[in-house]
Copies of this chain bind each other. A is one copy, B any other.
Amino acid sequence: MTPDEFRRYGYQTIDWIADYLAHPERYPVLAPVKPGQLTDALPASGPERGEPMEAILADFDRLVAPAVTHWNHPGFMAYFANTGSEPGILGELLSAALNVNGMVWQSSPAVVELEQVALRWLREWTGLPLDWFGLIYDTASVASMHAVAAAREAADPQSRTRGTSPGLVVYASGQAHSSIEKGAIAVGIGQDNFRKVPVDAEFRMRPDALAEMVGRDLAAGLHPCCVCATVGTTATTSVDPVPEIADIAERHGLWLHVDAAYAGSLMLAPEFRWAFAGCDRADSLVMNPHKWLLTPMDCSAFFTRRPEVLRSAFSLIPEYLRTAFDPRAVNLMDYGVPLGRRFRALKLWFVMRYYGREGLANLLRAHVALAQELAAQVDADSRFERTAPTPFSVVCFRYKGTDDQNKRIQERVNSTGEIFISGTVLNDRYTLRIAIGNQATLRSHVQRAWELIHEAADAL
């Protein structure tokens, strides 16, 4: 492609995005397609000869964009709503153009150093210890798998050479993200050695239950090695009592990993710091700028006070990648499974500079306020009930009826194309769940969601 052609198609693409972000409602939020519909609309085989860029961009607009569930839509309130902001998009664009691989310092110094700089800024903004080490993984699931592997290494350094020792045990609450259990499966600890610690009425891990389980496992000759506390669980955003969990972890030498993938961004706003008490005592913590810090997928920030453990779990330097040791020239490939490392810090650095700490904190505050208002409305409505506390920007609630009725409400709301909400099961009952997290979501959209839910309840 010539520079002029790139300029032309580049401008065209930028124009498409500008229009798209200005009018995200032009598409239904939930893709109105049947399974296989996009597949059937595309050729079964790729082209033998190249096609014009015009045709490709036209097909993107005509076929692909309508088959996307629009996470940018202000009515997107499912899962954890997120935002890939404009400066983040431009950062990602530049990263794709540079197309560098920061596996070792020499292979792209800026990848390594900007990652360290951006994560140091983030530690300062979040109040996490400045002397911790940080690196970016693609997702929190992968980050948490590395935390479990580091815990394995700390508890039993021979696991690296001899294979995972039988008897290592990992703990997390029954409300913890599935990635902790998956991490235990992946690194060879096994599902049988993953304990789901019971939660209290507000879905927080019960430290007494954790202590009891650890005691029982120790008595049985097992080797507790890791506990994962969650600040902002996936279903209800509940906050595990980290200080009490840290006490138990310290007493028994467990690696304490904190999963703050969603809520971690809130550390930027001092009034939410209460939720992160004790996190400075963790061995590792993950938070996702790609969730609630306006950074496009993927960017998961992982911090650890014990990088040397992570390094000894994973460092394996082939001859063709040997470089002279320099403490200021970190080779990030030593800290995990992926060797290739794209320039993910660039978009994060763009976002942090463009919004500043205050700008980001204010957006999060606005989202929390919207959720709090909705929670109050649910409480004031005799036909509905909240099914969990609402500490942050996620409201869990249900129609006071059957599971089936709640599912029908959800389906009807989602079929409008205006709003997309998800559901979950709490205390064995189906519950609706509204998550605020997109920069385009305003009070009017949340109120419209509430209105649609009412209409759906009326129609039961």
Contact = CB atoms under 8 A, between A and B. Distances in A.
Interface string A214-232: 0000000000000000000
A391 interface: no
Contact of A96 (B60, B93, B319): B93
A234 B320 CA distance: 8
The bracket for how many chain A residues form the interface is 35 or more
Contacts of A316: 178, 181-182, 185
A186 interface: yes
A96 B84 contact: yes
A94 B10 CA distance: 10
Given A96-B88, A141-B337, A113 B11 contact: no
A442 interface: no
Given A36-B113, A186-B337, A97 B89 contact: yes
Given A68-B98, A84-B96, A297-B340, A109 B38 contact: yes
Nearest to A234: B320
A101 B82 contact: yes
Given A7-B18, A138-B338, A297-B101, A35 B329 contact: yes
Interface in A77-100: 78-79, 82-90, 92-94, 96-100
B11 A11 contact: yes
Contacts of A192: 161-163
Contact of A339 (B4, B141, B188, B320): B141
A244 interface: no
Contact of A30 (B106, B124, B346, B347): B106
A107 to B, nearest CB: 6
Given A142-B337, A314-B185, A329-B35, A107 B94 contact: no
A172 to B, nearest CB: 12
Interface stretch (A41-49, A204-212, A274-282, A371-379): A41-49
A124 B356 contact: no
B161 A320 contact: no
Nearest to A66: B110
Contacts of A6: 14, 17-18, 21, 86
A181 B242 CA distance: 36
Interface stretch (A114-122, A302-310, A445-453): A114-122
